[in-house]
Chains A and B, each alone.
Chain A
Amino acid sequence: MNHLPLIIQREYLTKVKNKSFIVMTFLSPMIMIALIAVVAYLSQINNNKARTIAVLDETGLVSDVFQNTDNTTYSILKNITLDEAKKQVKAKEEYGLLYIEKGIDSSQITNAIRFYSEDSPSLTIMSSLENKIEKKLTDLKLVQGGVDIEKIEASKTRIDIAQESFTGEKTSKIDNIMKLAFGGIAGYLLFMFIIIYGNMIMRSVIEEKTSRIIEVIISSVKPIQLMMGKIIGTSLAGITQFVIWMVLGGIMVFVLSAIFGIDIAQMQTPQQEMMQQAMQSPEVQNEMQNVMMAFFKLPILNLVIAFVFFFIGGYLLYSSLYAAIGAAVDNETDTQQFMLPILMPLILAVYVGVFTVIEDPHGTVSTIFSFIPFTSPVVMLMRIPFGVPIWQQVVSLLLLIGTFMLAVWFAAKIYRVGILMYGKKPTYKELYKWLKY
C-alpha cells in the first residue's frame, strides 16, 4: 500500500500551518529589509553631519585645493600662530585643524603636516585630506621638475583586454564576475537550504519519537516510506517558504523604493554622488550593457537543469542523513556529536567553492571536489557557469545519485532501529551495530 502521498500531505500541511513557520515566512523578509534600511539610514545620518575643518597653511602651497562640499566646510586661517589657531578651533568646536608648517622644503613636507582634533579623526576624512595634498604636491613637483602636466594626463592609457575563446566566444571580466555571482548564489542557496530544512526534518523525526507516536505510525507504514514522506513534505514546505520570501522581498523592495525613492535621492552621501555621476557617463552605460550581455552569455539552460538536479540530489543526500540523526537520538541536545560530520563537508564545499573555484574553476582541486558526492552539489554548481563538459556533470551527478541511494539505505536502517530506541544516547559503535539488525 502506498501511503507516501498521504504522509507528504500531512508533513507539508503541519509544517505550513505551524504558527512559527508562518511568522518566520512573513516576518523575516520584513526584518531583513528593515535591518538594511536602518543600517543605511544610520550611516547616512553619520555622514550627513556637517563639519568644519580649519586649515592653517603657513607655506601657502596647498590652501587652494580645499573646496567646500555639502558636508565639509574648510575655513582657511591666515596670519595667526599655531597656538592661537588651536584655541580658536577648540572654542568654535570645529572638527579639527590641519596645520602645514613653514620652512621645511617640499621634499620633506610630509613631516611638516599635522592634524589636531578633539577625538581621533575618521579614517575616510584623513585619507581624503591626504589624497588632496598628495596630488597637489605631486603636481607641484612635476612642474618644478619641468614636466608638462597636461602631457602626462594625455599619455595615461586605460587597457581592457578583450577576451575570446578559440571557438570565437567573446568573454570579459564582467562575464567572469557574473559567472562567479551565479555560481556563488546557487551554491550558497543549496547550503542554506540544506541547513535550514535538514534541521527541520531532524526536529520532526525527534518530535515523533518524543511524542511516542512513532510506534503507532510504524505499525501502519514502512519506516522508509515515513522517512521519504517526511523529507519530501518538509522540502515542499521549504520551497513554499523560499518562493514566498522571494516574492515578498521583491514586492517590498519595489514598494520601499517607490515610497522612499525621492528621499534616497535627496539624502546623498558622497559615494552616492560619485556613483550617480559615473552612471550618467557613457562609459558606465556601456558597462551596464556588458553586464546584460554577460548574463545572456551564461550557459543558462545548462545552469538551470544542473541546478535542479544537483540541488535535489544534494539536498536529498543530506536530508536523509539528518533524518537518520533525528532517529538515532532522543532530543535535540544529543544531536551535537553527529552534526559535525555532516556540517564539515558542507562547509568545506563552500570554502572550496569560494577560494578555489574563483582562482581556477577547472583546476585539480575544484575538479576533484566537484566529483566528491558530499561536496559536488555546491562546488559543481559554482563551476558550471564557467563551462563544465557535460560528461563531467553527468558523472558527478551519477556519483551523487549513487551515494544518495546508499545514504537512504543507511539512513533507513538507522531510522528503522533508532525510532524505537528510547533513553539511550547512541555512540557511533552502536549505530554501526544497528546496521546489522
Chain B
Amino acid sequence: MNDLLVANSVSKNFGDFKALNNVSISVPKGSIFGLLGPNGAGKTTLIRIINQITMPDEGQVLLDGSPLKPIDIQHIGYLPEERGLYKSMKVGEQALYLAQLKGLTKQEAKERLKYWFDKLEIGDWWNKKIQELSKGQAQKIQFIVTVLHRPKLLIFDEPFSGFDPINASIIKDEILQLRDEGSTVIFSTHRMESVEELCDHIALIHKSNKILDGKLTDIQRQYKTNTFEVGLQTSQADEVVNAIKNKFEVFPATFKNLNDDIKLNVKLPSNASSNDLLSFLTSKAEVHHFVEVIPSANDIFIQTVKNN
C-alpha cells in the first residue's frame, strides 16, 4: 500500500449545485501533492471532506487503506485558507487548547510547543494576545498548531499567504523537512511557482471534475511540445534565421542571455530528435544556448483549464 490517502469517486451536492463530481485522487506516502484548480472548482470541498467537516454524498475516502473514522482527525493537520485565531486569547493558552483538541495531553503539548517556539524564535510571544501580533506572526502560530501533533497527513491551503519572502522560505523549508520526516502533504495553492518548487504529484480540479492528475514530471513530459530554446552567435543573422525557418517551425523566444545575435524557440516535428536540430545549428552558427522547453505548471494549468 503506497498511497496514504485515496479518494474513491467522491461526489458532493449542495442543493442543486454539484460541488464535486466523481472525483478520485491518490496521494502517495511521503509525497507533496498539489491540489490545483481555479477559484470555486471544488478544492475546498474536497479538503473539507478529507477533514470530515462535510460528508460526501457518494464515494469514500481511505486513510492508510481504511475508511475515515472520527479518530483519524488526530492524524491530520489542516491549515485552512480561511484561518484565524481567537483574538483576545493569549498565544500560549490558545496553542495549548488547539493542541489538546487534537488529542495531545497538556504536558506533551507544552513540550512540543516549546520546541517549535524556540525553533522559529518566537518564545517571547507566549503571553501575548493574538490581536497584538501582526498577520504574519499569527500565521506562524497557526502553522505550528497545524503540525504540532505530528500528523501523518498535512493539508495546507495557501500556506504562504500573509508571509514575507523570508518567512515564506522558512515555512517552505519546514514543510520540506516534515515531508522528509515521513509526513505526507496535500498542498493547495494558486501560486504555480511554489507548485513547481515543492510538488511531486498534482491533481487539477475544474468545475467539480478532476481533469488531470499524476506525477508532475510525467505530466510535463506529456505536455512538452518538442520545442527548444536556441541562442546562436553569427555574423550573418538574417541568413541563418531564414535557413532555420525553412526547415523548422519557429517562434520568438524570451529567455535571457548576454550576447546572442539570434534567439528563437524552435519546434521539432515529432519524428525528429534534438540531435538533428543541434547538428543542423552547429553547421550554421556558434551555439551558445540550447535547452528543451519544459512546460511550466502555470502553462499546464492555463492550457488544461481553457481546453475544458
Q: Please report A residues at the B interface, Cβ cutoff 8 Å.
A: 1, 3, 6-7, 10, 14, 18, 207-208, 211-213, 215-222, 420, 422, 433, 436-437
Contacts and interface: CB of A to CB of B under 8 A. Distances in A.
Contacts of B51: 219
A436 to B, nearest CB: 7
Given A7-B101, A222-B70, 6 more contacts: A1-B74, A211-B84, A216-B79, A217-B98, A219-B78, A437-B15
Contacts of A220: 73, 98, 101-102
A10 B98 CA distance: 11
A206 to B, nearest CB: 13
Contact of A218 (B53, B97, B103): B53
B83 A420 contact: no
B83 A213 contact: yes
Contacts of B197: none
Nearest to A226: B101
Nearest to A225: B101
Given A14-B89, A433-B15, A215 B97 contact: no
Contacts of A221: 101
Interface in B58-89: 70-71, 73-74, 76, 78-80, 82-89
A215 B73 contact: no
A216 B83 contact: yes
Interface residues of B, number: 31
Nearest to B73: A220
Contacts of B97: 6, 10
Interface in B1-55: 14-15, 48, 51-54
A213 B78 CA distance: 12
Contacts of A1: 70-71, 74, 103
Contact of B84 (A7, A18, A213, A437): A213
B58 to A, nearest CB: 14
A210 to B, nearest CB: 8
B225 interface: no
B184 interface: no
9 contacts: A1-B103, A18-B88, A208-B86, A215-B82, A215-B83, A218-B53, A219-B76, A220-B102, A436-B15
B98 A211 contact: no
Nearest to A422: B82
Contacts of A207: 86-87
A213 B86 contact: yes
Contacts of A215: 53, 78, 80, 82-83
Contacts of A10: 97
A216 B103 contact: no
Q: Lowest 10 A-B CB distances belong to which pairs?
A: A212-B84, A220-B101, A215-B80, A211-B84, A219-B78, A219-B51, A213-B84, A212-B82, A433-B15, A218-B53
B88 A216 contact: no
Contacts of B79: 216
B82 A217 contact: no
B167 interface: no
B20 to A, nearest CB: 13
Given A1-B103, A6-B97, A219-B78, A211 B87 contact: yes
Which of A18, A207, A215: most chain B Cβ within 10 A?
Answer: A215
Contacts of A217: 98, 101
B296 interface: no
Interface string B136-171: 000000100100000000000000000000000000
Given A1-B70, A1-B71, A3-B101, A212 B53 contact: no
A218 B51 CA distance: 9
Nearest to B157: A215
B152 to A, nearest CB: 15
A220 B74 CA distance: 8
B127 to A, nearest CB: 14
Contacts of A212: 82-84
B100 interface: yes
A368 to B, nearest CB: 38
A219 B53 contact: yes
Contacts of B71: 1
A208 B86 CA distance: 7
Contacts of B52: 219
A216 B73 contact: no
Contacts of A7: 101
Contacts of B74: 1
A215 B83 CA distance: 7
Contacts of B70: 1, 222
B151 to A, nearest CB: 11
A211 B53 contact: no
A189 to B, nearest CB: 29
A216 B53 contact: no
Given A1-B70, A420-B53, A437-B15, A216 B142 contact: yes
A434 to B, nearest CB: 9
Contacts of A18: 88
B14 A437 contact: yes
Given A220-B102, A221-B101, A437-B14, A211 B82 contact: no
A6 B102 CA distance: 11
Interface in B77-130: 78-80, 82-89, 97-98, 100-103
